[in-house]
Chain A
Amino acid sequence: MGRAFASKDFLAGGLYMAFGLFGLWLGRTLEAGSASAMEAGYFPRLVCGLLIAVGAALAAMSLLRAGEIPERGRWRPLIFVTLSCLAFALLLHPLGLVLTLLVSILLASLAGGQIRPVPFLLLCLVLILANVGIFVLALRIQIALWPAL
């Protein structure tokens, strides 16, 4: 029975229900109104309710037969890809584009395993030049290149 609760279908159903419940909770203060005079909350409640129902049906049906268990993931790509993007978001304004790209590319490369210094530096050089060239020089997007002093 323990296995049934770890099946892909059961977990997916649970995830849908969680999203639906979260949506209902977030929208708890919105007025629903009636079918002829809907307020902001009517349609969201309808959609969240439907999502919970679908999730519940999926989870219930998964218990009726043995389903596949998700294969074990590896943490390294998940964590470092996430960190790399977060670093970009958080560092861009204080550090400027060039240094931010350096940190992001470093973190991204760590997701792939060990780093060989020469190809890594070449990659950084090419990506930084290309991005500065395309976005800052050609498309004239307002991004600071260096940290503001």
Chain B
Amino acid sequence: MPDILSNIAMGFGIALTWQNIGLCLFGCIIGTAIGVLPGIGPLTTMAMILPVTFWLSPVGALIMLSGVFYGAQYGGSTTAILVKIPGETSSVITVLDGHAMAQRGRAGPALAIAALGSLFAGSVVTLLIAIGGPPLAKIALLFQSADYVSVMLLGLVSAVVLAHGSVLKAIGMIVLGVMLGLVGTDVSTGEYRLTMGLDVLFDGIGFVPLSMGLFGLAEIMVNLEAAGGAGVEAKTVSGLWPTRADLKRSFPAMVRGTVIGTAFGILPGGGPTIAAFSAYSLEKKVSKTPERFGKGAIEGVAAPESANNAAAQACFIPMLSLGIPPNALMALMIGAMMVHGITPGPEIITKQPALFWGLIASMWLGNLMLVVLNLPLIGIWVRLLQVPYGYLFPTILVLCCIGTYTLNSSTGDVIVMTVFGVIGYAFRKLDCEPAPLLLGLVLGPMLEENFRRAMVLSNGDWSVFVQRPISLGFLLLAAALLLAVALPNIRRGREQAFLE
């Protein structure tokens, strides 16, 4: 215990220097701003400011970059709630209930709960990392490829469970996402796959152009159609603060979200997105009134927002301890560390304690800054809703184009985005929810890599996935989830058949 206290104290000693406070604040503000602006994501921004960090100390660079990362989680949920465009995959699920709340004039409480949930999760996880970080990293070391495959399958299945509407359609969207994730260069053999010979696809279908097309552009098309070109009616917002009933409903959801977020954040291949999806589906399952979900249930905002923030911080553990990036953003962080001559791996916690603990302490500080910065400013975000759609949609469209372009300075990416805008429009027309597709896209390459490794290790024996207890546990959980959603559907299908 004294060890932990002295470690935390050392961390704060580093995070609380003027320079690092300033860097943290700067990262948080930039992060929130780009999270709010539809069309530019944290990945773009982090990639763009990466060269700037070369002049900073290693810990300062990481503090600023992670500030952008979790600042964007805040900003991302703001746009998810207000304009139905998730700034990040991890806030995709917040759209469902967050935007529904905004449509009912309750954007204020939704934003406040999202911010408070994030602060709560951030504080708890910071403490958890300090106490359990080093031992937990040892547990994660026990995982083998087969276990990774199973945990990713569990994540994908939970995405199916939460998708409303047809289970088969959701499975199809996930599988399609995994397939799209395979486009590009095969990591093992270096062969180009499914690229149609187009240079722009050699590095794979980018997450940014795809999500901006599927969500940004398709949304604009559908909105314009629904409003007959006249624009969407601006919602009036009254009462920014959550009521006592809201808080009472949200608090247990925040706790559950934090627990799930931490668990999924620690698992490599997990991360904020699966965490948010899983927290939402759990919340829907444990709720006494699941029919409120998707129509503006505050738990549907509190749980995923706490979970994605918890996971965003917890996913630093595998990154720092194993050197495995659970997502593209962490991969970028690893890139930043290597530039500073730090090799990610098990030695970081022991050999670079100042870096590890300073970063952890700065996260807590950053979360506090974000709440202090954002809650008073919610009024300004809310005012975004008053902008007539006639002005808003060309702005979003132009930002989508520029944001996608700046990622790789590639006009080809803008064309990819446009193509997915049209595909996304078709999906809307056919009631296919695009969120599970994104999850498949992100997890696809990791799934394949681990699947191939597991099969090589087992000499082509498929039973490896049920022989390892960790893997078997995840698979059983996934099967149970699938069965749970499949059964009522079968029943409902039968009832309809009987009626006819």
Interfacial residues, chain A to chain B (CB-CB below 8 A): 8-9, 11-13, 15-16, 19-20, 23, 26-27, 30, 34-44, 47-48, 50-51, 54-55, 57-58, 61, 65, 68, 70-71, 73-74, 76-78, 81-82, 84-86, 88-90, 92-93, 101, 104-105, 108-109, 111-113, 119, 123, 127, 131, 135, 139, 141-143
Contacts and interface: CB of A to CB of B under 8 A. Distances in A.
B437 to A, nearest CB: 11
A68 B429 CA distance: 11
Given A12-B169, A43-B182, A112-B229, A65 B497 contact: yes
A144 to B, nearest CB: 11
A105 B394 contact: yes
Contact of B397 (A26, A47, A51, A108): A108
Nearest to B389: A112
A118 to B, nearest CB: 13
B229 A89 contact: no
Contacts of A43: 182, 448, 451-452
Contacts of A48: 179
A81 B397 contact: yes
26 contacts: A9-B169, A15-B426, A30-B191, A35-B460, A36-B461, A37-B460, A40-B186, A43-B182, A54-B168, A65-B497, A65-B500, A68-B431, A76-B224, A78-B425, A81-B221, A81-B224, A82-B422, A85-B400, A85-B421, A86-B418, A89-B411, A109-B394, A111-B393, A123-B395, A127-B394, A142-B409
B54 interface: no
A127 to B, nearest CB: 6
Q: Would you call the interface of chain A mostly helix, strand, loop, or mixed?
A: helix
Given A85-B417, A139-B48, 11 more contacts: A16-B175, A30-B191, A30-B193, A36-B460, A36-B461, A37-B460, A40-B186, A43-B452, A57-B168, A74-B225, A111-B393
Tell me what chain B mostly uses at the interface: helix, strand, loop, or mixed: helix
B462 interface: yes
A50 B175 contact: yes
Most B Cβ at <10 Å: residue of A54, A112, A131: A112
Interface in B397-434: 397-402, 405-406, 409, 411-412, 414-415, 417-418, 421-422, 425-426, 429-432
Contacts of A141: 48, 406, 409
Contacts of A34: 460
Contact of A39 (B189, B217, B395): B189
B18 interface: no
B301 interface: no
B224 A77 contact: yes
A70 B411 contact: no
B350 interface: no
A92 to B, nearest CB: 6
Given A8-B430, A44-B182, A131-B398, A65 B421 contact: no
B172 interface: yes
Interface of B: 48, 166, 168-169, 171-172, 175-176, 178-179, 182, 186, 188-189, 191, 193-196, 217, 220-222, 224-225, 228-231, 389-391, 393-395, 397-402, 405-406, 409, 411-412, 414-415, 417-418, 421-422, 425-426, 429-432, 444, 448, 451-452, 455-456, 458-462, 496-497, 500
A119 to B, nearest CB: 8
B397 A76 contact: no
A90 B411 CA distance: 7
Contacts of B220: 77, 81, 111
Contacts of B421: 81-82, 85
A19 B414 contact: no
Contacts of A50: 175
A90 B418 CA distance: 12
Nearest to B462: A35
Contacts of A78: 221, 225, 422, 425
A108 B393 contact: yes
Q: Which of B179, B409, B426 gathers most chain A CB within 10 Å?
A: B179
B422 A47 contact: no
A19 B172 CA distance: 10
A111 B179 CA distance: 32
Contacts of A20: 179
B88 to A, nearest CB: 19
Contact of B430 (A65, A70, A85): A70
B176 A81 contact: no
A16 B193 contact: no
Nearest to B496: A65
Given A27-B193, A82-B421, A108 B179 contact: no
A21 to B, nearest CB: 11
Nearest to A141: B406
Nearest to A53: B175
A55 to B, nearest CB: 6
